[in-house]
């Protein structure tokens, strides 16, 4: 099965002096949040303004209308979604919504949607319906359009109807992992808590490309935005940030070792909260992903495996330990010069580490 990181990207095969395994990115990150206790479209507007102000942190190629990547993570905009779908939704927190990148042909899309429905049933979920996401491809350059997927949102609930919150996200995570491996599609997000809009865009293209972001009903208490600069790399729809939990700036200098450590530990993984045989969800780090994508996948495993998100992130981003006797080096932790914003829809933080450069 073709990896979604290759299907929806302009990345060529490794040839000559080019080796895709050495790709890194260095980017711009910002987040906005309110403490007033209620979501608003103004938070989304402020985040998109911050994103446009990060234009200098992103990049384009010879085609100025093909960006390295831009995106936004928000809370699930419940009121907006209820207004744009023609099927009933359960109460907030009891349904999952996912942004999906599907093949850009009718037969491929139909086959992918059918198989996602079958996998959902196997993972204890039921498909409530699909929505076509309105986009404006005429804004994009030839490079971005040439590998552009179809954009759909899928809505799911537990087959029993009794699962909500992080327990529901665990079921959705299992479905997403299998669908990306077995069907070759890509989910920027699939959660009852957060929703991600992203792509092979410039900072100024994100909002006009995704018309949803301009709707006054589209509200959130928080938003994380990201502008990608793919250092010595090729742009890609899936490799834009934010990912499912994090938006990252920096290069993970130890990424190959980190992935090898994670691969070595997969045989001993067990979980009391993630249902079923974990073997169907492996490898943890998807081949073809960037350093940031792999980082997000491991944070997600730690969090959905039972740890709080702050705990999971602190396991991945060590405190600065140089000249601190009580700290010792431990294999497998990320070593980089980095800024990382992260959120599960209720908690949002920013972490920094300068342990490697």
- Cβ atoms of residues 48 and 215 within 8 Å: no
**Phi, psi (deg, nearest 5) at residue 202:** -90, 170
d(CA 145, CA 1): 22
d(CA 297, CA 327): 26
- Cβ atoms of residues 98 and 120 within 8 Å: no
- Cβ atoms of residues 296 and 25 within 8 Å: no
d(CA 195, CA 191): 7
- Cβ atoms of residues 220 and 209 within 8 Å: no
Assigned token pair, 123 = 């993972």
**Radius of gyration over every alpha carbon of the chain, rounded to an integer in angstroms:** 19
Q: Other C-beta atoms within 10 Å of 30: how many?
A: 21
190 DSSP β-pair partners: 98
**Phi, psi (deg, nearest 5) at residue 68:** -70, -25
- Cα 252–287–354 angle (5° rounding)? 5
**Phi, psi (deg, nearest 5) at residue 23:** -70, 145
d(CA 34, CA 256): 38
What HEC string does 140-195 produce?
A: CCHHHHHCCCEEEEEEEEECCCCCCHHHHHHHHHHHHHHHHHHCCCEEEEEECCEE
150 DSSP β-pair partners: 102
Residues with active-site annotation: 27
Residue 201 per-residue DSSP state = -
Which one, of 194, 207, 166, 120, lies nearest residue 308 by Cα?
166
């Amino acid at each position: 099965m073709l990896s979604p990181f290759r299907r929806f990207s302009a990345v060529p095969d490794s040839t000559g002096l080019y080796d895709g395994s050495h790709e890194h990115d260095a980017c711009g990150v910002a987040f906005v949040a309110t403490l007033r206790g209620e979501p608003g479209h103004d938070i989304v507007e402020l985040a998109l303004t911050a994103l446009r102000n990060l234009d200098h942190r992103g990049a384009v190629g010879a085609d100025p209308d093909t960006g390295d990547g831009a995106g936004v993570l928000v809370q699930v905009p419940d009121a907006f979604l209820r207004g744009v779908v023609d099927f009933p939704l359960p109460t907030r927190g009891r349904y999952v919504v996912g942004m999906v990148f599907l093949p850009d042909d009718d037969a491929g899309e139909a086959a992918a949607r059918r198989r996602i429905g079958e996998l959902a049933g196997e993972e204890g979920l039921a498909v409530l319906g699909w929505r076509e996401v309105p986009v404006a491809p005429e804004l994009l350059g030839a490079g971005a359009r040439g590998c552009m997927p179809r954009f759909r949102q899928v809505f799911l609930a537990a087959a029993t109807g009794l699962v909500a919150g992080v327990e529901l996200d665990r079921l959705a995570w299992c479905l997403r992992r299998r669908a990306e491996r077995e069907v070759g599609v890509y989910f920027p997000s699939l959660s009852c808590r957060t929703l991600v809009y992203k792509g092979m865009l410039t900072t100024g293209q994100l909002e006009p490309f995704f018309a949803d972001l301009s709707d006054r009903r589209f509200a959130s208490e928080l938003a994380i935005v990201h502008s990608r600069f793919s250092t010595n790399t090729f742009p890609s729809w899936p490799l834009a940030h934010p990912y499912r939990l994090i938006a990252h700036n920096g290069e993970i200098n130890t990424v190959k070792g980190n992935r090898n450590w994670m691969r070595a530990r997969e045989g001993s993984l067990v979980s009391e909260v993630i249902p079923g045989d974990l073997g169907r969800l492996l490898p943890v780090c998807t081949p073809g992903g960037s350093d940031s994508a792999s980082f997000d996948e491991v944070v997600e495993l730690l969090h959905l495996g039972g740890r709080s998100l702050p705990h999971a992130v602190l396991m991945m981003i060590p405190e600065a330990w140089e000249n601190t006797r009580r700290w010792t080096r431990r294999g497998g932790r990320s070593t980089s010069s980095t800024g990382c914003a992260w959120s599960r829809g209720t908690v949002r933080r920013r972490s920094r580490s300068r342990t490697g450069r």
